Amino acid sequence: MDVRNAIKFMILSTMAFACMNVVVKYLDNVNTYQIVFFRSLGSLFFTFGYLLKNKIPLIGNKNKLLILRSVVGATSMLFFFMSVKYLSVGTAVSLRYTAPIFAAIFAVFILKEQIKTLQWLFFVVSFIGVLILKGIDNQMDTTGLLLVIIAAMLSGLVYIMINQIGQSEHPVVVVNYFMVTAMILGGVLSIGNWVTPTGNEWPLLFSLGVFGYFGQIYMTKAFQTASTNIIAPLKYVEVVFTVLLGITLFNEVYTFWSLFGMVLIISGLVLNVWYKGKLKQ
C-alpha cells in the first residue's frame, strides 16, 4: 500500500474534475446537450484506444445492466451540467456529492443492506447542510437545486448498479459503455437545439473529455493503491478546488451560510466513509 502515491493520484483526480466543472460553467452559452455530447466524445478517444490496445472486448458480459447503468449515469450527468447554469459551481458540486446518501437509501430497499444508526446521523448532518443552503442562503436557485438533487439521486442509483456489476467487467468497459450512451443521448438531444460554438469554445468543449477521463483514471489508480477509508474522503477536495476556481474565474461570491452548508454536507459524508472503514477493520 503506497499511501503517498495514492494521495497524489486522488489530488490530481480532484483537480481534473474541478477543471471540468469550471469549463462547463464557462460554456454558459453552449447548449447543455452539446456539452454532454463533447464531454463523452472526448473521453471515447481514450477508452476505445485503451480497449483496442489491450485487446479487451468492447462488449461486456452483463449488457442489460451495463446499458441501464449508462442511461441512468448519462441522465445524471445531463441534470448536473444543467444545474451548473443556475448555481455557483462550488454549490452544485457540493450538492451532487449527496449521492452516497441516496445510494445508501437505495441499498436498503434494493440490496437489503443495513445502515448503522451512526451512519444515519452523519447523513442527517449532510442533509442539514442542504437545508441551510436552500433555507438560509438566498443565492440558491430553486430550479438549480431541483436539477442537482435529481442528478445526485440518479448518481446514487448508479452506485448500486456498479455494485451489481461487480468484478465481472473491466472498469474501462463500464466507462466506455457510459461514454457511448452519453454521447448518443447528448447528440440526439442536440438535434434542433444546436448552438454553434465560438472559436475559443471548441477547444474547451474537447477538453471536457480529457479532464473527465484523467479524473476517472487517477481516481481509479488512487483506490487501487491504498485503502478506501484513507482515499475516499479526499474526493471531496474537488469541492475546495472548484470553489477556489469559481471565485477566481467567475468572481463567484459565497456567503457564510453557503460555505457552512457545504462544510456540513462534506463533513457528514467524510464521517460516513470513515465510520464504514472502521466497521470493516
* Cα separation, 56 vs 206, whole angstroms: 25
pLDDT band at 250 (very low <50, low <70, confident <90, very high): confident
Please tell me whether residue 45 adopts helix, strand or coil conformation.
helix
Phi/psi at 83 (5° precision)? -65, -30
Say what the pTM is. Answer: 0.89
More confident residue, 228 or 15: 15
* Cα separation, 6 vs 220, whole angstroms: 10
Helices then strands, counting H and E runs in the chain, come out as 12, 0
Q: Tally the residues of the chain.
A: 281
Residue 137: pLDDT over 60: no
pLDDT in tens, 209-238: 999 989 888 887 887 677 666 677 788 888
Residue in this structure with the C-alpha cell 472498469, named with its chain if needed: 171
List the domain range (segments joined by +) for residue 200. 3-280
pLDDT in tens, 151-174: 999 998 988 888 788 777 888 888
Residue 111 DSSP label = I
Question: Total structural domains in the chain?
Answer: 1
Residue 198: pLDDT over 90: no
Residue 197 DSSP label = -
Q: Collect all residues with Cβ–Cβ distance below 8 Å to 166 and sequence separation of at least 6.
A: none
